[in-house]
Structure 1
């Protein structure tokens, strides 16, 4: 599957110039824009910064014919050849939910900040390549002599990711840990030997180089490939390392919350879900919502501590080169129940493999928190996991301008349907 794209150009002041002829790009995912930038340069000899999605000929990604707004770079404005631009009608009115990187001049300001930060670190930038832009992030690759760095810019509802990344990169490595938690449980786990080695070898997040305003964070490159399609053995290894991270996080949840990481512990999760799903048709999950408070009370009684939750721990958010794996994209992180991450990691596995993964996870928690009941917690939270995702998608929709709603509009009812199906299981 591919995409057909039409690029509508504006100048540095945001004045419309016209639309370039449509062309095809090989990747179907609307937020991926590197191939669009390359296609414009190859066909027309100019450089652009893609600002945002304008519209598409289908209700949701991927594929189809998609229109984007893009700004000519200053160098291209000065030396632009004659291009085959067509007059085009496009709404360029301001919108209160538009992100800084989606405005003319926004990408240039963000890249300039990153270039200055890298120069301060003794890493002059030789090339910049825009990779992605959509409602959840904008991402650029910056090449420097020691290696690449990555600039990521986040919307307000994800501004806590740099906090999490910084915490991960300064993660203490004690030989043991014993931390009191809200439920009165004490966690005691040996973190010497193999567990410490696993965390150190794996890397729990990319190295943070700088944190700036408007949701900007600059991180080190992570060598390897995204681990989409990882097999059961690799997922098991990811789960082991992530467990060690979550055990360490138990004693720091108060600090993480104080620093802006969302607090979705216990009853707060119920209130957060209802808040964001208000106004959506939740009839499919009405039974689950009606009993949510009692279900979460039973989860609390299972005795597991609250900790740092990645929020979207699938293998595509893990990058590895065969010897080292690093967990990426902590923008959905929150403080809450650790079972949410193992449920996400097990998605897509055949039932026997998923059961083995969750059973091993439960064994680790039983060893670290004597008397807890992790398996019951997993069973109780199985329908709550897609319900939480539905609320997260609803939060995204509430925080983005209407032209970008197709990214997530179908996700809310789909997640609610999954929650209902798990409730009936």
Structure 2
């Protein structure tokens, strides 16, 4: 899906003027990504490419997220060159190569043993920013919100009755997970190997547009069940994910395996609600099946 506004000459002129006030362009700007909700420009400079991203109103909170991560954990995102919260604009240095490309070349998933605890430490380090992030428009997907939001979602998408019948399951799992007393934190909500980059040996996490405030372990749904468990050759449940989950959990403490198990299931409820694109309910139904059935 595209949105014509991202190619509007007047809008692009405004963007280029904003970029030129921050970097010296050395060649023609390219627009490799255009979607209904965002666009990305590649901007060549004498010091290498930099990247501009614009989000629509629904995702402008990404700027507030990246600003805070850049301030507290500059080792996990590329250098932030410019930002505009009101417009939803970001200008960042190049992040290197996608983890997807690197793991395909190396034929190994072991880099995730560094990525996951690094990302978990970012969640912990931004604990004090949760209130400010919610105020900036980051979606509230905390446990207390999920049962009602799930009920509304299954009604809106016309899901089979069995999904509506699962509301008490959502309620019970939320209550059990809440019993562990873990803080609800910033959560990427779409952390996969296309969102992680490798530069000079460092692993960087990008594309925080789907970020929300939720139980931190919800991230394991997409990352572990939706990604790592499928391995390098895209075969369901072909990888023992225990070491990856353990590497992530180590940042939070011990005895949390059951909490992670619950969160991996409820994480699909969060993703279905938070990631829904009106008019395209195929991904939503896949995520609801992952929650209820454990497979797509």
Give how far 1:335 is off: 1.0
- Pick one of 260, 268, 271 that aligns with 1:378: 260
Q: Which has the larger radius of gyration?
A: 1
Unaligned runs of 5+ in 2: 230-236
Q: TM-score, normalised by structure 1?
A: 0.60
> Are 1:366 and 2:257 counterparts?
no
Mapped partners of 1:251, 1:132: distance in 2: 33
Structure 2 contact 63–85 (Cα < 8 Å) conserved: no
**1:401 corresponding residue in structure 2:** none
> Are 1:295 and 2:194 counterparts?
no
Name the count of aligned residue pairs.
281
Computed over aligned residues only, the root mean square deviation of the Cα atoms, in angstroms, reads 2.5
- Which segment is superposed worse, 273-282 or 131-140? 273-282
> Are 1:102 and 2:4 counterparts?
yes
**1:207 corresponding residue in structure 2:** 80
Quick one: structure 1 residues 111 and 151, their matched pair in 2 at CA, closer, same or farther if it must change by over 3 Å?
Answer: farther
**1:17 corresponding residue in structure 2:** none
**1:129 corresponding residue in structure 2:** 30
Q: Secondary structure at the match of 1:140?
A: strand
- Which segment is superposed worse, 219-228 or 315-324? 219-228
Q: Which has the higher helix share?
A: 2
Q: After superposition, what is the alpha-carbon deviation per residue over 1:361-402, rounded to whole angstroms, capped at 9, x for unaligned?
A: 2233116xxxxx5212222122222222222343x21xxxxx
Q: Which has the higher strand share?
A: 1
Unaligned runs of 5+ in 1: 1-30, 32-51, 53-100, 173-198, 368-372, 398-404
Give how far 1:122 is off: 4.6
Mapped partners of 1:251, 1:392: distance in 2: 22
Q: TM-score, normalised by structure 2?
A: 0.84
**1:357 corresponding residue in structure 2:** 244
Give how far 1:303 is off: 2.0
For residues 162-177 of structure 1, the aligned pairs below 5 Å read: 162-171=63-72
Mapped partners of 2:151, 2:165: distance in 1: 13
Mapped partners of 1:364, 1:124: distance in 2: 41
Mapped partners of 2:247, 2:85: distance in 1: 40
> Are 1:161 and 2:62 counterparts?
yes
Mapped partners of 1:253, 1:215: distance in 2: 19
Q: Secondary structure at the match of 1:219?
A: strand
**1:341 corresponding residue in structure 2:** 219
